[in-house]
Amino acid sequence: MKTLTICFLGGLAATLTMPTAHAQFFPGYRPNFPVMPQPGFGNPFFPIGSPGFNKLNGQADVMRAFGDVTNSYEQARIAREKANQAKIETKRQAFDQMLYEKANTPTYLEQLAKDKSDYLTRIMNFPQKAEIYDGRSLNTMLPLLQNLSESGSQGPPIALPKFAVSALNLSVGGQPSVGMLANKAPLRWPSGLRGTYQKNLDKLIPAAVESVIDGALSIKLLKDIRGEMKSLREDTRAKLQRDEIDSSSYFRAIEFYNDLEPSINALDRPDARNQLSGVYESKARNVPELVEFLWDNGLGFAPASPGNQNAYQVTHDAFVRFARTAQSSAGFASINAPIAPVGKKK
């Protein structure tokens, strides 16, 4: 056994020391095929820091940078596309919001109808005295009463006192009315206005009224009346300064003067003759007849004359009672129908 081992080792040593032509190593020899460096071991042919190593490293950096740029471009395209999608979604949401607001916002006409109905409801249920005496409440309710009449929803014929109908001042299209001069009766002057100018006007005003009825009102006569009216006011102010009248008498006088002046100015209007000649005089006995007369002649209510405010209050109350009873009749429905307040009967 020992002999075989020695022979084997001797033969191996002889083989390793035997020179051969194919296994010889020459210093500086490089194979003609590339040998790529392995990760973590370095490059035996291009050591770190050599020109070859720096060239390969630069090429890798260029390729890496190109990849980064390409990736950045793609990420930018994706981000831009997401932004475009977000814009479209924002527009869609804005459009949906617009449709929602439009569906839940009343139109201009609907708002007008609501405001008109609210105003009519207040005028009927909670009017101010001034709104009744200047005819606003009656003029506001007039279209509603006409609508009730045309729809056939008639309530009971609420009667109107004769004194109330005759005391109503009527005009065309809300224009000034002859008002205090309509009944052609002598004016009842307050104490603060009585005097020389008042007596002159008592002669001039009836003459002007007759001239209007005859269709022959002269400019000179109307100018004389206005001149006397101006002097009358100045004289009344002077009486107050001289303590010839007290403050309460002065204010009553000025109130009467302010009501009379528009009536005198209305004498020059085209429809003044019809107002004074009785064309616009109503013979109505109840609310439906008065409404029909006013509507057929295109008339409305002018402000009340001093002392006739009660007639306007009575007419207002009759209008309200008629409207409520007519609205409660079967089959009536109107967007302009006012709603009775809580706690009150319709």
- Taking only the tens place, the pLDDT of each residue in 34-60 is 545 544 445 555 555 556 556 667 777
How far is residue 255 from each of residues 72, 237, 259, 302, measured CA to CA in Å? 88, 13, 6, 17
Q: Which residue has the higher pLDDT, 32 or 97?
A: 97
Chain position carrying tokens 């006192």: 161
Q: Which residue has the higher pLDDT, 222 or 346?
A: 222
pTM for this entry: 0.62
pLDDT surpasses 90 at 16? no
User: CA–CA separation, 130 vs 20, rounded Å?
Assistant: 138
pLDDT surpasses 90 at 330? no
User: CA–CA separation, 6 vs 253, rounded Å?
Assistant: 161
18-27, 110-119, 174-183: which has the highest mean pLDDT? 110-119
How far is residue 215 from each of residues 96, 183, 268, 280, 299, measured CA to CA in Å? 67, 18, 10, 17, 21
User: CA–CA separation, 322 vs 319, rounded Å?
Assistant: 5
Between 219-241 and 196-214, two packed helices, what is the crossing angle to 10 degrees? 160
C-beta separation of 338 from 141 below 8 A: no
* Mean pLDDT, the chain, whole residue set: 80
82 pLDDT band (50/70/90 cuts)? very high
C-beta separation of 240 from 257 below 8 A: no
How far is residue 87 from each of residues 74, 82, 159, 325, measured CA to CA in Å? 20, 9, 69, 59
Q: Which residue has the higher pLDDT, 338 or 72?
A: 72
pLDDT tens per residue across span 130-146: 999 989 999 999 988 88
